[in-house]
């Protein structure tokens, strides 16, 4: 345990400005916002800025946002440097009359910009219960990336910027890890589940909770971004324009409000490219993940965007264009979901398997950072994902003018209906027991499905009993009645004996008790069974 007094000597706020950060707010070609921190003795502050090579400074008064955290009390300052000329280099300093920062430089984009690049990173969290949190590796990794790619105008994250966002210990660690970078390169944070996670005691990791309103994330960045998201969750949700692109950064709660906001933002933007970030991947690569709470809740909103960047899995995947229950070939036909790997040498181990919706995935298991460079050139968007040492994991070009994606990857269209679990093909175990549509009801081989995912299957004459996710369901041949751990219910049609003498059940009735949902992708002709739990089924061994 460390007291506030002890913490003050380690990474506490002081009269001198620290945690200096640039961000995009307003017209990127003519405005830049700078944030910094001091202790409570400093009661005013301002930024001085000028075009590089000139003598006269312009002054931007800062507004103060006082925060009281678990470890410190500080003043955060936010100054908007306005009336900038497009396509120019500027220098600035921040503080007050007595305590000032060094002089830093930044560049404004050109007017009507349609050619630019930015860096995408995700899941950079680090540090355990023993402070101070160490983000020094991140610092060296980002500096190397930006040295190799100086063309990047800003940094975009896809969440989990901290390991436990509801403590000042983590935020001070993160800002220390970004020192020497974000004073000159704007950073646009998306929130992840670790960013709104906290404990009643950070040091002992007791009583974990998730803050619906992400107080620390919101307060740390209060004046850095536009307050243009859903009114109850500012900063966690915010939008900005850069060049010919519109960006929407989304949070981790309030999905219905986010969905409406995403639709509104897309419909009111005339930009060529529309990007969104959402920490939780929709087209996930892991064998046991789920997205039931965000999709379809945010489906209508997300499908207004060309690309949705995500993280969370610490592994890479790129999807086919997806719209509703359909996978397609052309970018105009759907949204590409681009799942970034861990950018701080924090791979998950084996957590990527072939999924029907992903054209590319990579089992990111080496302790190397992964990152993406996005290059915009008019109607073309080139995405290149690397692991450290510039090893290319994925390369693709989305061309709006020709409505193509290179390299070409066609969405599957099956001549016999396939069965998948969380997008993963069941393969040989259903080779001769594929789904069948009888009188408008899709029937699936329930025993093979549950055996495939690791649940319990007990077969007796004319009956099959399923056990998975803490639930049990017993099905009887030629009966629509299902006997569960809580009683009985009726399916939409009876259980039938079909191919290979196996018992098949109508998919929706089968799923009802087992924490599952069934979806039929008509365009592609497959069924996927989803679950709202990430638990790993395991049969009981007596």
pLDDT tens for the chain, residues 1 to 542: 789 999 999 999 999 999 999 999 999 999 999 999 999 999 999 999 999 999 999 999 999 999 999 999 999 999 999 999 999 999 999 999 999 999 999 999 999 999 999 999 999 999 766 788 999 999 999 999 999 999 999 999 999 999 999 999 999 999 999 999 999 999 999 999 999 999 988 888 889 999 988 999 999 999 999 999 998 899 999 999 999 999 999 999 999 999 999 999 999 999 999 999 999 999 999 888 888 888 889 999 999 999 999 999 999 999 999 999 999 999 999 999 999 999 999 888 767 899 999 999 998 888 999 999 999 999 999 999 999 988 999 999 999 999 999 999 999 999 999 999 999 999 999 999 999 999 999 999 999 999 999 999 999 999 999 999 999 999 999 999 999 999 999 999 999 999 999 999 999 999 999 999 999 999 999 999 999 999 999 888 88
Phi, psi of 359 (to 5 degrees): -90, -20
Residue that terminates a domain, selected from 112, 127, 142: 112
Predicted local distance difference test score (pLDDT) of residue 129 = 63
Whether 10 is in a domain gets the answer no
- Is residue 1 assigned to a domain? no
User: What pLDDT is attached to residue 202?
Assistant: 83
Q: Assign residue 328 the CATH number of its domain.
A: 3.60.21.10
457: CATH? 3.30.457.10
Is there a domain that residue 411 lies in? Answer: no
Residues 200, 256: one domain?
yes
In a domain, 107, yes or no: yes
207: left (phi over 0), alpha (psi -120 to 50) or beta: left
Distance, in Å, from the CA atom of 88 to the CA atom of 58, rounded to the nearest integer, reads 15
Q: What is the DSSP letter of 294?
A: T
Q: What pTM was estimated for this model as a whole?
A: 0.96
Q: What is the pLDDT of residue 352?
A: 87
Q: What is the SS3 assignment for 435-486?
A: CEEECCEEEEEHHHHHHHHCCEEEEECCEEEEEECCEEEEEEECCCEEEECC
Same-domain status, 480 and 395: no
**Domain for residue 536, yes or no?**
no
265 with 167, same domain? yes
- Residue 148 to residue 206: CA distance in whole angstroms: 42
Name the phi and psi angles at 151, rounded to 5.
Answer: -70, -15
Q: Are residues 382 and 240 in the same domain?
A: yes
Start-to-end C-alpha separation, the chain: 45
Q: Is residue 377 part of a domain?
A: yes
Domain boundary among 406, 437, 460: 406
Alpha carbon separation from 288 to 320, 512, 516, 534 (Å, rounded)? 20, 19, 12, 5
Assess whether 135 and 253 both reside in one domain.
Answer: yes
Q: Are residues 202 and 100 in the same domain?
A: no
Question: Whole-angstrom Cα distance, residue 505 to residue 476?
Answer: 9
Of 443, 464, 447, which Cα lies nearest the Cα of 455?
447
- Asked if 241 and 380 sit in the same domain, the reply is yes
- Residues 32/22, Cβ–Cβ less than 8 Å: yes
Choose one of 112, 141, 172: the last residue of a domain.
112
473/385 same-domain check: no
d(Cα 248, Cα 266) in Å, to the nearest integer? 9
Any idea what the CATH number is for the domain that residue 29 is in? Answer: 2.60.40.380
Measured between alpha carbons, how far is 276 from 123 in angstroms, rounded to an integer?
17
Q: How many domains does the chain have?
A: 3
How far, in whole angstroms, is CA 329 from its chain's centroid?
23
Cβ pair 302, 274 in contact under 8 A: no
Query: Does 170 map to a domain?
Result: yes
Could you tell me if residue 6 is inside a domain? no
Tokens of 182: 């974000």
Burial classification of residue 153, based on how many CB atoms lie within 10 Å of its CB (0-12 exposed, 13-18 middle, 19 or more buried): buried
Look up the domain containing 41 and give its range.
17-112
Same domain for 304 and 387, yes or no, is yes
What's the rounded Cα separation, in Å, for the pair 28 and 82? 10
Are 34 and 126 contained in the same domain?
no
Based on the domain organization, do 246 and 286 belong to the same domain? yes
| Max intra-chain CA distance, the chain | 91
Q: Does residue 174 share a domain with residue 58? A: no
């Amino acid at each position: 345990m460390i007291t506030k007094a002890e913490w003050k000597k380690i990474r506490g706020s002081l009269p001198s400005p620290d945690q200096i950060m640039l961000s995009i707010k307003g017209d990127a070609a003519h405005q830049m916002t700078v944030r910094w921190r001091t202790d409570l003795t400093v009661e005013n502050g301002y930024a001085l800025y000028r075009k590089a090579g000139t003598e006269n400074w312009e002054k931007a008064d800062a507004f103060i946002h006082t925060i009281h955290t678990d470890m410190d009390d500080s003043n955060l300052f936010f100054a908007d440097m306005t009336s900038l000329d497009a396509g120019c280099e500027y220098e600035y300093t921040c503080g007050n009359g007595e305590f000032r920062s060094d002089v830093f430089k930044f560049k404004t984009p050109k007017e009507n910009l349609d050619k630019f690049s930015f860096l995408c990173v995700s899941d950079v969290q680090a540090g355990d219960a023993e402070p101070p949190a160490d983000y020094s590796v991140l610092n060296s990794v980002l500096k190397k990336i930006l040295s190799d790619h100086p063309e990047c105008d800003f940094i975009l994250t896809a969440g989990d910027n901290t390991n436990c966002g509801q403590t000042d210990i983590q935020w001070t660690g993160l800002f220390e890890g970004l020192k020497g970078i974000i004073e000159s390169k704007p950073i646009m944070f998306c929130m992840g589940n670790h960013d709104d996670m906290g404990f009643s005691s950070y040091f002992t990791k007791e009583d974990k909770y998730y803050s619906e309103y992400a107080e620390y994330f919101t307060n740390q960045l209060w004046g850095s971004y536009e307050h243009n998201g859903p009114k109850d969750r500012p900063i966690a949700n915010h939008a900005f324009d850069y060049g010919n692109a519109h960006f929407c950064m989304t949070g981790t709660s309030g999905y219905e409000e986010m969905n409406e906001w995403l639709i509104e933002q897309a419909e009111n933007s005339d930009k060529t490219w529309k990007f969104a970030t959402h920490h939780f991947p929709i087209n996930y690569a892991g064998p046991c993940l789920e997205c039931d709470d965000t999709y379809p809740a945010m489906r209508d909103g997300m499908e207004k965007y060309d690309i949705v960047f995500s993280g969370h899995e610490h592994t890479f995947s790129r999807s086919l264009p997806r719209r509703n229950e359909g996978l397609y070939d052309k970018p105009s036909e759907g949204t590409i979901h681009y799942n970034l790997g861990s950018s701080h040498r924090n791979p998950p181990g084996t957590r990527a398997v072939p999924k029907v919706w992903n054209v590319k995935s990579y089992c990111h298991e080496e302790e190397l950072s992964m990152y993406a460079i996005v290059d915009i050139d008019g109607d073309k968007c080139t995405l290149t994902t690397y692991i450290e040492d510039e090893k290319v994991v994925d390369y693709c070009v989305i061309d709006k003018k020709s409505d193509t994606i290179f390299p070409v990857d066609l969405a599957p269209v099956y001549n016999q209906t396939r069965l998948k679990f969380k997008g993963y093909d069941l393969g040989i175990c259903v080779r001769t027991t594929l789904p069948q549509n009888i009188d408008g009801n899709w029937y699936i081989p329930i025993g093979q499905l549950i055996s495939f995912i690791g649940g319990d299957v007990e077969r007796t004459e004319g009956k099959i009993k399923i056990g998975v996710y803490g639930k049990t369901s017993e099905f009887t041949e030629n009966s629509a009645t299902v006997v569960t751990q809580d009683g009985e219910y009726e399916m939409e049609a009876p259980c039938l004996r079909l191919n290979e003498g196996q018992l098949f059940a109508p998919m929706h009735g089968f799923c009802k008790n087992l924490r599952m949902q069934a979806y039929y992708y008509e365009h592609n002709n497959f069924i996927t069974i989803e679950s709202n739990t990430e638990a790993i089924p395991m049969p009981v061994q007596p």
